[in-house]
């Protein structure tokens, strides 16, 4: 199990071509089969990795937030929605998705979320490996592969379980 962020970054660069080939390979496998295997692997790997020892997602990502979540977060910060929006949020042009713009997250203390019970759904749901259609979300999976030990290990185990590496030799 690889948990070193430095090693994950290094290996992810080394495996860019392999991961592109793997993307092509999994297109040949039924989506239900891929999803079921990823969901199982996600459960296995998540039990073995303590996110509070890492917190990298909270250090580098800018999670989307809903209008309802903005109300909750502004209350936590003891500020108005308008002030919270001005100071901590941005809107992505084109999609109009509102997201937390500060890195690291303003609610991160060490590697721990200070608002864990009230964190946005996108944070609670991270790294999103429990969702269907993983092979159609490959770009975001590969972004997370480079920064999240859970995603990295799930994808490497997926390659192994599908015997992908043996095809590269």
pLDDT of residue 169: 47
CA-derived radius of gyration, the chain: 18
Is residue 104 scored above 60 in pLDDT? yes
How does pLDDT run across 137-157, given as a tens digit for each residue? 999 999 999 999 999 999 999
Is residue 14 scored above 80 in pLDDT? yes
Cα diameter, the chain: 59
In angstroms, rounded to a whole number, what is the distance separating the alpha carbons of residues 38 and 143? 16
Contact by Cβ (8 Å): 52, 156: no
Alpha carbon distance, N-terminus to C-terminus of the chain: 23
How does pLDDT run across 123-142, given as a tens digit for each residue? 999 999 999 999 999 999 99
As a whole number, mean pLDDT of residues 76-90 equals 96
H helix intervals, 15-148: 16-26, 31-48, 56-60, 67-76, 81-88, 121-124, 138-145
How does pLDDT run across 17-67, given as a tens digit for each residue? 999 999 999 999 999 999 999 999 999 999 999 999 999 999 999 999 999
Peptide bond before 127: cis, by omega within 30 degrees of 0?
Answer: yes
pLDDT of residue 165: 64
Is residue 166 scored above 80 in pLDDT? no
Is residue 167 scored above 90 in pLDDT? no
- 11 contacts: CB under 8 Å, gap ≥ 6: 2, 152
- The pTM of this model reads 0.91
As a whole number, mean pLDDT of residues 81-90 equals 96
DSSP output for 142-162: HHHHTT-HHHHHHHHHHHHHT
Pairing of strands 112-113, 89-91: unpaired
């Amino acid at each position: 199990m690889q948990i070193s962020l430095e090693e994950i970054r290094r290996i992810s660069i080394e495996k860019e071509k392999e991961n592109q080939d793997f993307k092509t390979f999994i297109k040949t496998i039924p989506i239900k089969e891929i999803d079921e295997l990823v969901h199982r692997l996600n459960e296995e790997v998540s039990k073995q990795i303590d996110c509070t020892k890492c917190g990298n997602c909270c250090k580098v990502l800018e999670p989307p937030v809903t209008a309802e979540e903005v109300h909750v977060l502004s209350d936590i910060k003891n500020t108005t929605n308008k002030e919270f929006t001005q100071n901590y949020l941005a809107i992505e042009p084109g999609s109009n998705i509102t997201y937390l713009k500060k890195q690291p997250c303003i609610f991160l203390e060490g590697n721990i979320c200070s608002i864990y019970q009230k964190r946005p759904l996108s944070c609670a749901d991270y790294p999103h490996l429990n969702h269907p259609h993983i092979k159609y979300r490959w770009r975001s999976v590969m972004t997370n592969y480079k920064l999240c030990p859970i995603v990295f290990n799930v994808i490497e185990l997926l390659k192994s379980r599908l015997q992908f590496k043996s095809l590269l030799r």
